Structure 1
Amino acid sequence: MSVRPYVEKKTALIILKNDHLALFVRHFLRANGTDQTTIVYSTREAQEAMRNYDFDLFFIDYDMEEPTAVEWVRALRLSDGPGSEVPVVIIIPAASKEKVWAARDAGVNEILGLPITSNLLEARLTKMYAHPKPFIRVPTYIGPCRRREVVQIYHGDNRRGGKGRNGEESLLGDDFDTAALVAASAADMPSLAREIKGPARLNTPGKRQD
């Protein structure tokens, strides 16, 4: 099954530090019919872009700062705006169990390591859209259902440390302590969530767009 039926006519916000990777993701999405893609290089730029557009899909670099990617995703889920349930794909350059748990507890839908190929993107996005997880809203967690499962992080055929088929490493997911994560950032999240809530659907100069 092709990913095209799921992403065509959609709009995507790509929040990645690496310009080559951002352009690769953009090219893949455009080749599959995505209506518009916007590239920004920081979470602050992402917040600005979201005041001007509704986006249907987010890609974000785990290594973003001020706010971090984990903080940004958690704030997105808490925003209660039109983008609060939009799928988020996070890219973790050097994946570890701790980073995977933090990303999943923030409310991401899909996690990718490096390197990324077109076939991998198509397979993971197709899985994400064809078999969506229920969206959960409880006092301690907002995001896709986080029931216990094995997460596959792709490291490439020759990446050292890859343990599974095609270099994939199995990282065991679990019922995470989301209460602790939410409580730790409770003071900052409401204001950040308000900042990224609600677009005005206008064009934003200075951003890389189709």
Structure 2
Amino acid sequence: MEFDLSQVSIMIVDDNSHMLSLYKTLLRTFRCRKIHQANNGAQAYSRMKDLTAPDILITNWYMPVLDGVELTRAIRTMADSPNPFLPIIMISGFAEEEHITAARDAGVNEFLVKPISAKVFCSRLNNVIRAPRPFVRTQAFFGPDRRRKASILYTGPERRSFELEVPGFEDL
């Protein structure tokens, strides 16, 4: 598959220099040239506010100072957030359902479990670029719609309306 990220700005956040190097190498194979990096969530948040916010954020979960879940919550909910709609891909060595659910509930768009393959990495990037999910705002959550597929058959009390927020389509 031809995948060209030459016009996409990506920030990678990881406290492991080897993982940063691996992600940069993978991104360069997809022609990405606008790569920013940070060693923890606090540094990433600060850099996003000082620079133009990236188009995509790739973050590790466990890091000192501010981890990936806390960074995601800050991006989604803080009043000074550089872009609450920022696509976020989280990478973690923990594949337990509770970790995946916690990341999803914080507002992560995609979740990858280490070790990663170039094919799966590319697939997650493709999802956030070519098939972004609309954003949902409730009293307890703001982020990408957690449902991968909308079920018209569900009629329970927790059924949400289809009044979803899609970045760039506020006037529709």
Global fold match (TM > 0.5): yes
Query: Distance in 2 between the 1:72 and 1:39 partners?
Result: 14
Report how far residue 87 of structure 1 moved. Answer: 0.6
Does residue 1:57 correspond to 2:51, yes or no? no
Alignment partners' CA distance in 2, 1:147 and 1:31: 31
Which amino acid in structure 1 is aligned with residue 70 of structure 2?
E
Larger deviation, residues 119-128 vs 13-22: 119-128
Give the aligned partner of residue 167 of structure 1.
Answer: none
Identity %: 29
What's the counterpart of residue 94 of structure 1?
A: 94
Matched, 1:8 2:6: yes
Aligned mates of 1:87, 1:31 — CA distance in 2: 20
RMSD of equivalent CA atoms: 1.8
The yes-or-no answer on 1:141 pairing with 2:112 is no
Q: Taking structure 1 as the reference length, what is the TM-score of the superposition?
A: 0.64
The aligned residue for residue 78 of structure 1 is 77
Using the TM superposition, give the Cα deviation of residue 147 of structure 1 relative to its aligned residue in structure 2, in angstroms.
2.1
What secondary structure is seen at the aligned counterpart in 2 of 1:51?
helix
Partner Cα separation in structure 1 for residue 124 and residue 45 of structure 2: 26
**Corresponding position of 2:20:** 22
Structure 1 residue 148: Cα displacement:
6.7
Q: Distance in 1 between matches of 2:109 and 2:37?
A: 20
Determine the C-alpha separation between the residues in 2 that align with 1:107 and 1:43.
Answer: 15
Gaps of 5+ in 2: 150-172
Does structure 1 retain, via aligned residues, the 8 Å contact 2:89–2:124? no
Paired position in structure 2 for 1:66: 65
- Where relative contact order (Cα < 8 A, 6+ residues apart) is larger, the structure is 1
What is residue 181 of structure 1 aligned with on the other side? none
Secondary structure at the counterpart of residue 39 of structure 1: strand
Aligned residues: 147
Amino acid across the alignment from 2:127: K
| Deviations 1:84-121 (CA, angstroms, capped at 9, x unpaired) | 11110101112211110100000001100111121221
Question: Contact (CA 8 Å) 2:42, 2:71: kept in 1 or not?
Answer: no
The TM-score normalised by the length of structure 2 is 0.77
Deviation at 1:65, TM superposition (A): 3.3
Instruction: Say if 1:3 and 1:125, in contact at 8 Å, map to a contact too.
Output: no
Q: Which residue of 2 aligns with 1:120?
A: 120
